[in-house]
Amino acid sequence: MNNSQQQILVADIGGTNARFAIAVGDAHSIELVQRFASADCRSLADAVAKYLATLPSHITLTGACLAVAGPVTNGEASLTNLGWLATESQLSEQLGVPVRLINDFVAYAYSVPLLPAAHTQTIKAGTGLAGAPLVVLGPGTGFGVASLQADGSGWRVNPCEGGHIGLAATSELQARLLGQLQLMLPYVNVESVLCGSGMINLYRAMAILEGQPARYDMPAQLTNAAANGDPLAQRTVLEFCRWLGSVAGDLVLAHGARGGVWLGGGILPRIVDSLCASDFTACFGNKGLMVDYLTPVPVILALKSDTAVMGAAAYYLDRC
């Protein structure tokens, strides 16, 4: 079938929101966008059914690509923060068209090369090594990671579960915070700090170490307080950015991602001023003998956090 005739159901299903749309012909033609609270849905199939009920009668689906926050193995998806399980075969039967399930950061990574310059901001200037992989990462409801490799005709994206690697301290304060987090949580990984709920974990640990009350329970409350001059909230957000820089540098080393880093997720566009004012870049490159390896690597922030639906369309049109 000619791509221009395709009407593809695309979705980005995260722990907080389920975003749906129809891609008509290409990844840039995204229509009929709807968002549901994931907590209001019983399963992925239920979320799909809610969206289908909103579609006008002239839509005739030719396929579907659903990006989900969790690992996908042999057509089976486990949505980590929702406890949902889903399979391509079940969803294909429900929709009557071929369905592909992919990790949400695979979709997000596919969207990155399509972003216009107006939707990006340079956090660390540099020149990526031609032909080297890129890494896409970011904090949202969880912490997503994927790498991209140009393969001559397009992009090959490799998902991973980088948010669940152990978190390392790189300063005396981080060592003290890590000790406090280990008292608070059964296991401390990157996602324990670098996501929405992780930012609150970090804030509470900072409050305990400083002997202050923790006044905020939601990430938006904390980031708004920081923007409005709350000193503890500001220190928390800056430490969040420092830790993000260190983890981003680690992931460049782990993936050989000398082509560059793309930052995404729902949190960073809200704290871009703090990110730029923080020690992100210094922590990114503070890797001992690998300083020269990391110095040329650029870091770009995607200012829009809802582009995974576009990436899901790009994946489907490229791979299916």
Tens of each residue's pLDDT in the chain, 320 residues? 555 678 999 999 988 889 999 999 888 889 999 999 999 999 999 999 999 999 999 999 999 999 998 889 999 999 877 889 999 999 999 999 999 999 888 998 889 888 888 999 999 999 999 999 999 999 988 898 999 888 877 778 888 889 999 999 999 999 999 999 999 999 999 999 999 999 999 999 999 999 999 999 999 999 999 999 999 999 999 999 999 999 999 999 999 999 999 998 889 999 999 999 999 999 999 999 999 999 999 999 999 877 889 999 999 988 87
State the CATH class of domain 3-110+306-319: alpha beta
Residue 171's alpha-carbon distances to 166, 175, 176, 178, 228, in angstroms, are 16, 6, 9, 10, 27
Positions of CATH 3.30.420.40 in the chain = 3-110+306-319
Supply the pLDDT for residue 164: 94
> What's the order of all strands across the beta sheet hosting 155-159?
120-124, 299-302, 260-263, 134-139, 143-150, 155-159
Positions of CATH 3.40.367.20 in the chain = 116-303
Report the alpha-carbon distance of residue 309 to residue 315 in Å, rounded: 10
Q: Which 3 state secondary structure label does DSSP give 240?
A: helix
Question: How many CA atoms does the CB half-sphere of 226 hold within 13 Å?
Answer: 26
Supply the pLDDT for residue 4: 63
Reference 256, options 127, 135, 77; nearest CA is 135
Tokens of 27: 């990844």
For residues 139 and 268, the answer to whether their CB atoms sit within 8 Å is yes
Report the alpha-carbon distance of residue 182 to residue 96 in Å, rounded: 48
Report the alpha-carbon distance of residue 84 to residue 96 in Å, rounded: 21
Supply the pLDDT for residue 289: 96
The pTM of this model reads 0.87
Structure letter (DSSP) for residue 3: G
Tell me which architecture the domain covering 116-303 has in CATH: 3-Layer(aba) Sandwich (3.40)
Q: How many CB atoms lie within 10 A of CB 117?
A: 8
